[in-house]
Structure 1
Amino acid sequence: MPDSTVHPTPPTPAVPLAALLAREDLALRQIAGPSDPPPVVHAAHTSEMADPYPYLLGGELLLSAGAHIPDAADSDTYFDDYVSRIVAAGGAALGFGLAPVHDTVPHALVEACDAHGLPLVEVPPRTTFSAVARAVWQLLAQARLAELRRVTEAQQSLAAAAARPDPVPSVLRQLAQRVGGWTALYGPEGAEIAAAGREPEAPVRGSLTELTEVVRPSGPGTPASATPASATPASATHVTAGTRLAAYALGTGFVLGVATPAREPGDHTIASVAAVLLTLLTGEQQSGSGAARTSALVRLLLGGTAEEVAPLLSKETHWFVVDARRNDQRDRPAPSGARDPVDMRLRRGARPAPTHPQPPDLLAATALGAALGSTLIDPMVENVRILVPADRTPQPQPGWTLGVSSPAPAQHLAAAAAQAARAMARARATRTALLRHGSRPGLAELVPREEAQAHARALLGPLAERPALVETLRAWLSLHGSWDRTAVALSVHRNTVRQRIARAAELLHAELDDPDVRMELWFALRQE
């Protein structure tokens, strides 16, 4: 009787025995054993041992010239024991050479192979075992190359699917197409959320649902936050009703189920790639952060206030605003028409073309946000802006210049953003990695805020329609009247700074060399 034990085979692509038999240069011929299901081999091994069991790993085409067969042995018993040991070791097939020991394949060996269900291949005298082994390895190399190509194409298509507007259904559809079966995503509660591909029979679906519970990292109803996501999803496989089932735990409480009519080389790798992508796609949804940010945006667009949407973004009630710029970030020429009117009056050749910073790449901005412990990032501006919960004090980051505001509630975040921008401008001018907005008590606390703001509006009224002059005056005063450092902070020429300060002094009727005047102007600028 054939051995029903399932033997492990090497993790290499299988080569159909039929492909080896089809090689005309080898002239091999199968003379015994089953052909359905089609036999496959994973390697070739030559041995003349009477008991090859200790030398086989499983899946081999064992090649032998029969030198181990004793002349006086009971042939029926000997061959039955010999073949049974090959089958017990997981051998895939036996190749028997007709020369130089035997002119024909022993009839008892043919009967034993038929009895034990082991394919028996006749190797003609002109075909060497080395040629057979070389052919096996060539076919294995071709199969491996085809598998790698298939996996690579599947990875690319799955990544493209993950970037579509409906990423989760797209990934499931693409996975179902690549493995030729049915795929389903199960939620933390065990319910089927989405599916794609050829739907299996009800019993198969039921078995797959049961299999997903085996790999689920937490019980039904357990929050996904209690289970850390894993880059290598846990998996389990099962065969039912002739269908191969596989389940992959996504680490977020979700589980990916796959049902295929057969298990092809590379299927597990392809499904694992899909599981990793789905882990990333479902992680934010399950944690609620992605949905909360979307809800906050919708409410703002529909007229909501910052105070109303702030609780959706974080449990914190106060945030730091961080203004960041990469140290290697180059400036680019400003588009035509963006030149400052004061700059245009400069003599040709007295200054380089005006510039403004390029936005950093999204990957670098996202990495910075992760380092600061926040996902609330605006990278689509010249300087990256990040909201950091007040319980996470921003620290200097290699390769970046940071300006940090004082902690502020939602209704004052706009003012905090101005603080961060000024701090970052000073940090750039002073070549400091991180500069925080001063929070030490000062004279401003001695004057009621409403009165201070009214005084500032009156004092700075002549500059109300000239924001460039206001910003230049603020930077110049904060940098103790340094023309060069102010020019660096504002990305303009030092002559531009001189002309703007002169124009501001003229409009304000102020003597800016007087420290009392400077102090009063600085106090007013701080109230904006």
Structure 2
Amino acid sequence: MSDITFTWLYNQHKLHLRPIVEGPASFSTIQATELKDPTEFTARGAIVLTLGLAFESTPSEFFLYTQALAHAGVQGIGFGTGLTFSEVPPELITAVQAHGLALFEVPRATAFTSIINAVTTELTRIEHNQQFALHRQQERLNQAAAQGLDALIAQAGKELGAAVAIADSHGAAVSTYRPRRGGLDALPAAVDVATATVATTSGARTVKRKDGTSVATITNQLVTPHQQRFALAVNSETKFNSYSRALIRHLAGLTGVLLHHTDARTHRTLGALALATALDSSPAAPLAEAFGALSPDRSVQLLCLTSDSADRLHKALEHAERTGTEYFALALPGAAVLAFASDAPIEPRQLFGRATSHLRFALSEPLPWQELSADLLTRLTAYANAQPLGQWSVLNEEGPQWLHSTAVQDALTQRRTELLGALHDYDDIHHADLARTLRVYALADAHLGSAATELGVHRHTIRARVAKIEELCHIDLSDPVTRAEVVVLCVSAG
């Protein structure tokens, strides 16, 4: 339930309310009643509007009336004058001060319904805004979850303004990143729940610290299909409202989904580690065992996929993971390399779904895993970058090998800096996309329609960008020799 401040209420000048006694800062609802003891029908956090009809002849009973309201969680009293009482009774003022409630005068000209309508309208507005904010927060958590558990927990701490942690049944932190707030750390609470012998310890509680402040804690116990037990804990110095609780439930659901795939992700991670290690060091027994688990004859095929869009590349890899296909993966800047068993049928569209048409591919011949090298990945990535969108072919080693020599690469790097440096500077300052546009336009052989389709913009936009590129780089892209140079520079850079 949302709260409204008394300051807001008093600032509704058309109501002509006069504050008399300062009390709590806010309230959550408002109601009118003339019962002598309305506590059975009042809600916690409410303001009670009354004319004092039941106390016309016994104003001394205002003390017991106010005491009962305070015990029922009422925050304040709006007292109507001009009918039963010409002014706010001093007995009521004394009683309200004694019990810590707020008190304000409602003049006869102001109808109680006017106050109730104003409050109801404001509560509706606040509720709508909070619902919208919750929806946006859930969307941001969804986006973070796509990047993994650490990113999800980091974003959750930011959205909730709280300490967040996950622990397993051994009492160890699952996420390497755990947000802390105001000296709070949620890991101890997560460990308590995860290591508990009885699976009934999830819930919410508030604990008072030695300094007098309170800590609100919500814990959720999560059990995967493999009966692995985890616990999510959130600590905050402020009380969780219904929207915070809803967001925490959403967080627990996303966490459960990620933990559900722990085994598969561990397999992928170990595979990626094996692949990366193989590229940097000599063969070792653990690597042989890892590649043996992927391919009985320890021969593999590498599939390199590249994209100008990190989001499309990520979606493609997500789709591949959902197919259940066995592979090891290694992420590269703007690309990924997947190692499959040499006899595995590889069909990009089946692996990567609709993202296939936005990617470029290159496939190696089957080879022993011991022959994997950084040089092979460089050649494979360059070959993939030269392919048309959505198409793939086997790496052709009969291509221009001179591109891969150190001297040529150094010369190309220097020329690339000279020609394209201005574009990168312009993109950084103006958040433009000229460097990527040049690459796509050159690889599309100056075809405006093809470049526009790949970049998702209108052909007129491509035409305007090309004119700006020619101005900044002092080149003429209508010249096929110039375009050929750009193609070589872009492809060799990956």
TM-score (norm 2): 0.53
Q: Greater CA radius of gyration, 1 or 2? A: 1
**What is the aligned partner in structure 2 of residue 66 from structure 1?**
52
| Alignment partners' CA distance in 2, 1:119 and 1:283 | 51
Residue 18 (structure 1) shift: 1.8
Q: Give 1:235's aligned amino acid.
A: G
Aligned to 2:139, the other structure's residue is in SS state helix
Q: 1:90–1:254: structure 2 CA closer, same or farther, 3 Å change rule?
A: same
**Match for residue 270 of structure 1?**
247
**AA partner of residue 194 (structure 1):** T
Residue aligning to 2:292? 308
Give the RMSD, CA atoms, in angstroms.
3.7
The one-letter code sitting in structure 1 at the alignment partner of 2:217 is: A
Contact 1:248 1:272 in 2 (8 A): no
**Cα 1:282–1:243 shift into 2, 3 Å:** farther
| Distance in 2 of aligned mates of 1:256 and 1:49 | 46
Q: Which AA in structure 1 matches 2:267?
A: A
Q: CA separation in 1, counterparts of 2:256 and 2:137? A: 17
Whole-angstrom distance in 1 between the partners of 2:188 and 2:274: 41
- Give the deviation of 1:273 after TM superposition: 1.8
Deviation at 1:310, TM superposition (A): 5.9
215 and 298 in structure 1: CA distance in 2 versus 1, 3 angstrom threshold: closer
Contact 1:300 1:309 survives alignment (8 Å) = no
C-alpha offsets along residues 135-193 of structure 1, whole Å, 9 cap, x if unaligned?
111111121112112211211111111122xx222222212222223222223322344
Pick the aligned partner of 1:178 from 156, 159, 172: 159
Q: Which residue of 1 aligns with 2:39?
A: 53
Is 1:240 the counterpart of 2:199? The answer is: no
SS in 2 for 1:137: helix
| 1:281-296 alignment, distance < 5 Å | 281-285=258-262, 288-296=263-271
Change (3 A) 1:376 1:95: same
Q: Do the aligned partners of 2:79 and 2:103 also contact (CA within 8 Å) in 1?
A: yes
Paired amino acid for 2:161: G
SS state at 2:234 partner: strand
Q: Which runs of 4+ in 1 moved over 6 A?
A: 361-367
The one-letter code of the counterpart of 2:164 is: T
Whether the 8 Å CA contact 2:56–2:85 is kept in 1: the answer is no
Aligned partners of 2:216 and 2:239 also within 8 Å: no
* Aligned residue identity for 2:97: D
Aligned equivalents of 1:155 and 1:377: distance in 2?
32
Structure-1 separation of matches of 2:180 and 2:273: 37
Q: Separation in 1 of the partners of 2:320 and 2:93? A: 70
Structure 1 unmatched runs, 5+: 1-11, 313-360, 370-374, 379-409, 419-528
Q: In structure 2, what is the equivalent of residue 29 of structure 1?
A: 18
Q: Aligned-pair distance for 1:281?
A: 1.7
Cα distance in 2 for partners of 1:297, 1:91 equals 60
Q: Distance in 1 between matches of 2:271 and 2:192?
A: 37
Residue in structure 1 matched with residue 190 of structure 2 by the alignment: 212
Q: Which amino acid aligns with 1:88?
A: H
The residue type paired with residue 135 of structure 1 is A
The answer on 1:255 being equivalent to 2:231 is yes
Query: Is residue 156 of structure 1 aligned with residue 139 of structure 2?
Result: yes
* C-alpha deviation, 1:120, in angstroms: 1.2
Q: After superposition, give the CA deviation of every residue in 1:430-477 in whole Å (9 maximum; x if it has no partner).
A: xxxxxxxxxxxxxxxxxxxxxxxxxxxxxxxxxxxxxxxxxxxxxxxx
Question: 1:300, 1:306 within 8 Å by CA — same for their partners in 2?
Answer: no
Contact 1:186 1:194 in 2 (8 A): no
Structure 2 SS opposite 1:68: helix
Aligned AA for 1:251? L
For 1:292, the aligned partner's letter is H
Deviation at 1:293, TM superposition (A): 4.0
**1:491 corresponding residue in structure 2:** none
Distance 1:261 1:305, change over 3 A: closer
* Aligned with residue 98 of structure 2, among 115, 119, 123: 115
CA contact (8 A) 2:77 2:101 kept: yes
Check whether the contact 2:81–2:107 (CA below 8 A) recurs between aligned residues.
Answer: yes
What stretches of structure 2 of length at least 5 have no aligned partner? Answer: 224-228, 279-286, 297-315, 328-339, 347-494
Task: Indicate conservation of the 8 Å contact 1:184/1:258, yes or no.
Answer: yes
**Counterpart-to-counterpart distance in 1, 2:318 and 2:177:** 31
Q: Which segment is superposed worse, 167-176 or 60-69?
A: 167-176
Native 8 Å contact 1:185 1:195 kept in 2: no
CA–CA distance in 1 between the matches of 2:293 and 2:275? 7
Tell me the residue number matched to 2:120.
137
* CA-CA distance at 1:133 after TM superposition: 0.5
Kindly tell me: are residues 209 and 161 of structure 1, through their superposed partners in 2, closer, same or farther at Cα, counting changes over 3 Å?
A: closer
TM-score by length of 1: 0.49
For residues 488-499 of structure 1, what are the structure 2 equivalents within 5 Å?
A: none
Question: Taking every aligned residue pair, what percent have the same amino acid on both sides?
Answer: 21
8 Å contact kept, 2:20–2:104: yes
Q: 2:109 maps to what in 1?
A: 126
Deviations along 1:270-311, one digit per CA (max 9) or x if unpaired, are 2222222122222322xx332124435655785758993169
1:329-372 C-alpha deviation (Å, 9 max, x unpaired): xxxxxxxxxxxxxxxxxxxxxxxxxxxxxxxx9999988x7xxx
- Residues 440-519 of structure 1: matches in 2 within 5 Å? none
Structure-to-structure mapping, 1:413-452, within 5 angstroms = 414=343
- On the 8 A contact 1:182/1:197 being kept in 2, the answer is yes
Please say if residues 166 and 190 of structure 2, whose CA atoms lie closer than 8 Å, have aligned partners that are also in contact: no
Query: SS of 1:102's equivalent?
Result: coil
